[in-house]
Amino acid sequence: MRRAIPLFIAPLALTACNQAKPLYVDHAWVRLAAVPGRPAAAYFTIHGGKAPATLIAVSADTAVLAQMHRSMQSGGVSAMAPIDRLPIPARSTVRFAPGGLHVMLSDVNPVVKPGGTMHLTFSFADGTRIEQDAGVIGAGAPDPK
């Protein structure tokens, strides 16, 4: 009987290893503006879960307004366009990074300083909400690793 127990446990352990992780957010950070009163920018990585999801909003506890944007290059000119919703395919990774997807944070509370954190809330079309703290860096600081 003792030899039979591992034979039953091993398949269960392997099944648990193959299950997809749930939808989650990591590597969140915020770059403050160089000029006071200008918008800050938030960056992060969204990892899709076992089903597709749609990001519909990101909010910050210390900013009056947060808007998702996409940066684009066309004919050597940079431009930004707002995004109302962003599909997150199942088992995928969507990265918000400088020069691409980002969240503009307007009217950031002046108590937010480099080395601190901002609390971000990610809202999805199915009602899912994910909360994540984001490290804050100054305008001229290198991107976090």
Residue 75 scores a pLDDT above 90: no
Domain limits at 78? 20-137
> Rounded to whole angstroms, how far apart are CA atoms 51 and 106?
32
Q: Which two tokens stand for residue 52?
A: 């597709």
As given in the structure block, the two tokens for residue 89 are 């395919």
Number of domains in the chain: 1
H helical segments located in the chain: 4-18
Distance CA 25, CA 118 (A): 14
Quick check: 129 pLDDT over 70? yes
Tell me the pLDDT tens digit for each residue of 44-65. Answer: 999 999 999 999 999 999 999 9
Distance between CA atoms of 29 and 115, rounded to whole angstroms? 10
74 vs 27, more confident: 27
Whether the predicted model's global pTM rises above the 0.95 cut: no
pLDDT tens per residue, range 85-118: 999 999 999 999 999 999 999 999 999 999 999 9
pLDDT of residue 77: 87
How many CB atoms neighbour CB 136 within 10 A?
Answer: 21
In percent, the amount of the chain with pLDDT more than 90 equals 78
Report if residue 2 sits inside a domain. no
95 DSSP β-pair partners: 45
Give the domain CATH number at 95: 2.60.40.1890
Secondary structure of residue 133 in the 3-state scheme: strand
* CA 93 remoteness from chain centre: 10
